[in-house]
């Protein structure tokens, strides 16, 4: 009996689910809904790269948040390696937040 290949789309969904468990400590909304995650790349070897930003370049969690993202993504059985790349291009604005996040923060 052969192994069923892992679908990278299904893995992408699992990665998003795990990203939604990570919260910005200053804002009671997860980093995915905040719009801090710009993209998630999964190659055929199941190496994952997360392109993300922070609310500001001097964000107090600039050292710890990317490490938490890497560790949580790497904790998924299917993931071989995980790497987080921080970018400030484009800079984060409140417009990147989901409707859910805006509602949670009383902005709607």
- pLDDT tier at 1, thresholds 50, 70, 90: very low
Q: Mean of the pLDDT values across residues 32-37?
A: 96
Number of structural domains found in the chain: 1
Q: Is residue 66 part of a domain?
A: yes
Residue 82: which CATH number?
A: 3.30.300.130
Residue 39 pairs in a beta bridge with: 51
Is residue 3 a part of any domain in this protein?
no
Please, are residues 74 and 14 in contact by the beta-carbon 8 Å criterion?
no
Query: What is the CA angle 74-80-81, rounded to 5?
Result: 60
Using 50, 70 and 90 to split pLDDT, how confident is the model at 73? very high
Query: With pLDDT > 70 as the criterion, what percentage of the chain qualifies?
Result: 93
pLDDT top residue among 20 and 61: 20
Element containing residue 101 per DSSP (H, E): helix 99-104
Enclosing domain of residue 55: 8-101
CB 51 within 8 A of CB 38: yes
1 domain residue, yes or no? no
- Residue 62 domain-assigned? yes
Tell me the C-alpha distance between 87 and 89, whole Å. 6
């Amino acid at each position: 009996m052969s192994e069923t290949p892992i679908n990278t789309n299904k893995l992408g969904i699992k990665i998003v689910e795990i990203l939604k468990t990570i919260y910005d400590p200053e804002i009671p909304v997860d980093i995915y809904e905040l719009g801090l995650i710009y993209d998630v790349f999964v190659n055929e070897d199941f190496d994952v790269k997360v392109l993300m930003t922070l609310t500001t370049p001097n964000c107090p969690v600039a050292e710890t948040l990317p490490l938490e993202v890497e560790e949580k993504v790497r904790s998924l059985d299917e993931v071989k390696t995980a790497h987080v790349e921080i970018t400030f291009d484009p800079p984060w604005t409140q417009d990147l937040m989901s409707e859910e996040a805006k509602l949670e923060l009383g902005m709607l």
